[in-house]
Amino acid sequence: MVGLKGGADERRLVGLAAKGDTRAFGELYQRHVDRVFSFIVFRVRDRALAEDLTQDVFVQMMRALEGFDWQGSLAPWLMRIARNTVIDHWRRQGRRPERAVSLTESVGDDDEGGRLDRLVDEQGEEDVSRAESVLDRARLMEASESLTDLQRQVVALRFGSGLSIRETADVMDRSEGAIKNLQHHALRALRKALDDGARDVGA
């Protein structure tokens, strides 16, 4: 994922983009597109659809930038647009994705359940930010079927997009304590699902 630059630089780019500077908008797009796509593909389970919805998010961003109230970072506001875009998509379709689809060529043989258990126990910001390197994306998405919708949103924002607890709370309009609680239970449920899956494979 492309790392975000300093807040002052990003604020400058936002100001320029809001005035129609296409180069500044392109820079913002490059900085944020990976995290937006990661969140959306985790939620919709379809790469082609995720690509289309990601483009929709940035079209909405471009139209709304002029009225954007800078609060120190573009990410929470942009991810709120992404979240609402997914919600609106499923509302139009009148359904939700029926199953997770594999987004990787293969699934590794590492002990995902055991490593996730350590994430649950430690519950550190740094540990959660490493989730994508700890868990195979396909298995994580499949295991997420056992979660509630709110838990899946937290996992997508925290694991898929790399947002902090505070940023995730801003996107979901919930307290940081509520996000920590959702994350705690989501990680435990994921570990159980991965453990159960491993036992099924070995049976």
pLDDT at 82 over 90: yes
User: Residue 3 has what DSSP assignment?
Assistant: P
CATH number of 7-93: 1.10.1740.10
Domain spans, the chain: 7-93, 112-202
Q: Residue 97: what pLDDT?
A: 53
- pTM beyond 0.85: no
**112-202: CATH class:** mainly alpha
Rounded to whole angstroms, the Cα distance separating 152 from 144 reads 6
Sorting pLDDT into bands at 50, 70 and 90, what band is 110?
A: very low
End-to-end CA distance of the chain: 37
User: What pLDDT does residue 160 have?
Assistant: 76
What was the pLDDT predicted at 159?
77
Distances (CA, A) of 156 to 24, 61, 113, 202: 27, 20, 18, 28
SS3 breakdown of the chain: % helix, strand, coil, rounded to 5? 75, 0, 25
* Common-topology check for domains 7-93 and 112-202: no
Q: What is the pLDDT of residue 130?
A: 46
Contacts (Cβ under 8 Å, ≥6 apart) of 122 = none
